[in-house]
Structure 1
Amino acid sequence: MDFLIDAITEWLKELLISGILSNLSGLFDSVNTRVGEITTQVGLTPQAWNGSIFNMVRNLSNTVILPIAGVILTIVMTLELIQMLTERNNLNDVDTWMFFKWIFKSACAVLIVSNTWNIVMGVFDLTQGVVNSASGVIVGSTSIDFAAIVTDLETQLEAMELGPLLGLWVQSFFVGITMWALSICIFIITFGRMIEIYLVTSVAPIPMAAMLGKEWGGMGQSYLRSLFALGFQAFLIMVCVAIYAVLIRNIGTGGDVSRAIWTCMGYTVLLCFTLFKTGSLAKSVFAAH
């Protein structure tokens, strides 16, 4: 009877060991792929990321939004003229220079609106230049090599009892599902940022039309700050990935398989959390005080 129990136990151990090795062999592959794509994705300008979407958004902005911006610009500058005249003692103290000032502001506003797309893309060219300059300095290897973290893995598993092996299999299975979910989160963050950029730039002429208005000018200033926040969000993402790379290179688990699994998972969860926070952090940096 003992012989039968030992045989069943040995069979279960072999089954669990093969299952654990199978789970761990590709455990971090999807995350490694997504993290490796981050530095490439955030280093692209809107035009380089997807030329077809870029051209579509630009055409929509120029053909649909720009005429609306022209109407808003007319209203804003007309109100600006009326306020400027009424502020001068109800038209009793009117100087010629006031009209030249208004004409100059109107000309500048028209110039800004007509070149909105170039201004917006210039902001992203500037910020992406900063990101690309930093990419070669702060980003290292972000790949999690579990075999390098825990050496002689199969030998350690063979020395374990049936109970710990069962628990380790459950852990590896759960962490595998979590890693799959985290890879989706990283995908959403990187691609969602670019979609947000296209959405924000598509309506660019409207806030830019109010840039030089006395009361409406805050709209344009807030819009420019949001553009810089979106642009420099990529730099913050690069810093997050660089910190993640340093943490991964310095994992010390003493050969403990379970500790290695949860340490790698913890660092990956931390990366996803900080990536989600980069958007609000960048906006807070460029917010008005």
Structure 2
Amino acid sequence: MDFLTDWLTGWLKDLLIDGIMGNLGGLFDNVNASVGDVAAQVGTTPAAWNAGVFSLIQQLSETVILPIAGMVLTFVATYELIQMLLEKNNMHEVDVANIYKWMFKTAIAILILSNTFNIVMAVFDVSQSVISSASGLIQGSTDISADMLANLETTLEGMGVGELLGLFMQSILIQVCMFALNIIIFVIVYGRMLEIYLMTSLAPIPVATLSNRELGSMGQNYIKSLFAVGFQGLLILVCVTIYAVLVQGIATSGDPIGAVWGAMGYTVLLCFMLFKTGSIAKSIFGAH
């Protein structure tokens, strides 16, 4: 009878250990996959992310928004010319040099406005280049190998059936949290790209105000926002990578209970920080 009890206990322990290691191993594999997927998504340029959407946004910007921006630039240039003339004793004193200066400034503004889409894409190309370089350095240091899990499995083998059963239920909860985390990452990463497309579509209007000192704050803030959204991808990648490194430490600690609840805490922390990346990026670049 004791033999049968020992056999059932051993069989149940093996079953629970396999289940726990499967859940935790799946967690760590999911973390590695998330880091790789985030690196690929945030390191993709708007043109490469979705060619159809990119073409639509480009046509919208150049055929619908650009003419409106041309009207805005006309108003801004005319307003600036009138101000310049009124400054000189109500047009009684006209400085020809200022007229040439205004003409040159307006010509530069027209040139910039006509190439707004290319300039905006250049901003994102710079940010994506930085992100791609960073992702190449990051992904190699976050892999969790099978050897790292061996110590964890050894610890599980020394635990009782009751402890293993409780730990198995907790590991299932972690799997649910990881599913929620993947949804949050999807929303933030894809939402960022949609924000890039939306900002790009209206780019000519704020750019048209850059040449004026009084109205130029609109365009300046827009440029800052472009850099903020672009480099938000780097912050997202850094957050996910820090999470992966922390989880890697859990995998090598050999403490299964600590691994489960540590992963839970890190997951909640990552979700919070992912939502903060946008505001952090804007504060760094002074956008509002």
Is the CA contact 2:32–2:244 (under 8 Å) kept in the aligned structure 1?
no
The one-letter code sitting in structure 2 at the alignment partner of 1:262 is W
Separation (CA, whole Å) in 2 of partners of 1:50 and 1:22: 35
Matches of residues 201-220 of structure 1 in structure 2 within 5 Å? Answer: 201-220=200-219
The one-letter code sitting in structure 2 at the alignment partner of 1:218 is S
Is the CA contact 2:229–2:278 (under 8 Å) kept in the aligned structure 1?
yes
Is the CA contact 1:253–1:259 (under 8 Å) kept in the aligned structure 2?
no
Deviations 1:69-114 (A, max 9, x none): 1111111111111211222222222222222222222211111111
The one-letter code sitting in structure 2 at the alignment partner of 1:120 is V
Separation (CA, whole Å) in 1 of partners of 2:24 and 2:134: 33
TM-score (norm 2): 0.85
Separation (CA, whole Å) in 2 of partners of 1:87 and 1:207: 26
Separation (CA, whole Å) in 1 of partners of 2:143 and 2:198: 32
Gaps of 5+ in 1: none
Deviations 1:41-72 (A, max 9, x none): 12211111111111110011111111111111
Q: Does 1:195 align with 2:190?
A: no
Taking only the aligned residue pairs, the percentage that are identical comes to 59
Distance 1:117 1:152, change over 3 A: closer
Is the CA contact 1:128–1:231 (under 8 Å) kept in the aligned structure 2?
yes
Distance 1:82 1:57, change over 3 A: same
Separation (CA, whole Å) in 2 of partners of 1:199 and 1:259: 43
1:35 maps to 35
Q: Does 1:228 align with 2:204?
A: no
Q: How far off its partner does 1:152 sit?
A: 6.4
Q: Which moved more, 1:254-263 or 1:268-277?
A: 268-277
Deviations 1:166-215 (A, max 9, x none): 32122112111111101111122222211111111110000011110121
Gaps of 5+ in 2: none
Is the CA contact 2:209–2:219 (under 8 Å) kept in the aligned structure 1?
yes
Q: Which moved more, 1:85-94 or 1:174-183?
A: 85-94
Separation (CA, whole Å) in 2 of partners of 1:199 and 1:174: 37
Separation (CA, whole Å) in 2 of partners of 1:134 and 1:34: 16
2:286 maps to 287
TM-score (norm 1): 0.85
Separation (CA, whole Å) in 1 of partners of 2:238 and 2:20: 33
Q: How far off its partner does 1:37 sit?
A: 0.8
Q: Which moved more, 1:222-231 or 1:259-268?
A: 259-268
Q: Which has the higher helix share?
A: 2
1:148 maps to 148
Distance 1:84 1:168, change over 3 A: same
Matches of residues 117-266 of structure 1 in structure 2 within 5 Å? Answer: 117-144=117-144, 148-149=148-149, 151=151, 153=153, 157=156, 159-251=158-250, 254-266=253-265
Deviations 1:233-288 (A, max 9, x none): 22333333443444344347652211122223333443333333222111111106
Q: How far off its partner does 1:119 sit?
A: 0.7
SS in structure 2 of the partner of residue 151 of structure 1: helix
Q: Which moved more, 1:184-193 or 1:245-254?
A: 245-254
Separation (CA, whole Å) in 2 of partners of 1:255 and 1:111: 62
Separation (CA, whole Å) in 2 of partners of 1:200 and 1:147: 46
Distance 1:126 1:225, change over 3 A: same
Tell me how large the CA RMSD over aligned residues is.
3.1
SS in structure 1 of the partner of residue 140 of structure 2: coil
